[in-house]
Structure 1
């Protein structure tokens, strides 16, 4: 098991419209990225566990070779700006990824 924060150069989240959040994980080098991609280490099981959501809340998981990155999008728990919503820009939702461990 390896900590995601130790192998990623960038881990971030942002709005993908008022009803979705998008996450980017950009890896330090091609070798690490290829291992993560080959094992599909960033997958729906990991996302469901980290964000305590069901499969139907995961919109997509995309491996993007030119950027050595994985992008995934989920349904926001509350729409942006909704009463009780605490992160209108979605910029702080990547925190669970900072403590995530994956099997390589």
Structure 2
């Protein structure tokens, strides 16, 4: 089984406003992008389970000319709450690195 970190040159996460997080998947080339961009491991159900989100609210954007998939999901609580542990959501991508794609 191929894992996400094996076919991406970079994976990052960041805020997409105070209520959403975006994960950017930069595939290591157009071949792996074409092979895995629609993989079950990157489906709304799998991503929602990893982040505790509603699958109906997970959004996916494929950027073919860049070999990038962007996945956005709503934060559990707005950015900047009293118990915030990752204010900029810069560490959230780690949950997907070992996701099996095939």
Q: TM-score, normalised by structure 1?
A: 0.89
Contact 2:13 2:93 in 1 (8 A): yes
Partner Cα distance (1:52, 1:77) in 2: 8
What SS is found at the alignment partner of 2:92? coil
Please list every run of 5 or more consecutive structure 2 residues that lacks an aligned counterpart in the other structure.
none
Please list every run of 5 or more consecutive structure 1 residues that lacks an aligned counterpart in the other structure.
none
- Once the two structures are superposed, the pairs formed by residues 13-92 of structure 1 within 5 Å of their partners are 13-37=13-37, 40-41=38-39, 42-58=42-58, 60-92=59-91
Misfit runs of 4+, over 2 Å: none
Alpha-carbon displacement from aligned partner over 1:19-73 (angstroms, at most 9, x marks no partner): 1000100100111001113xx1121122123223221341x10110111010011
Question: As a proportion of its length, which structure holds more strand?
Answer: 1
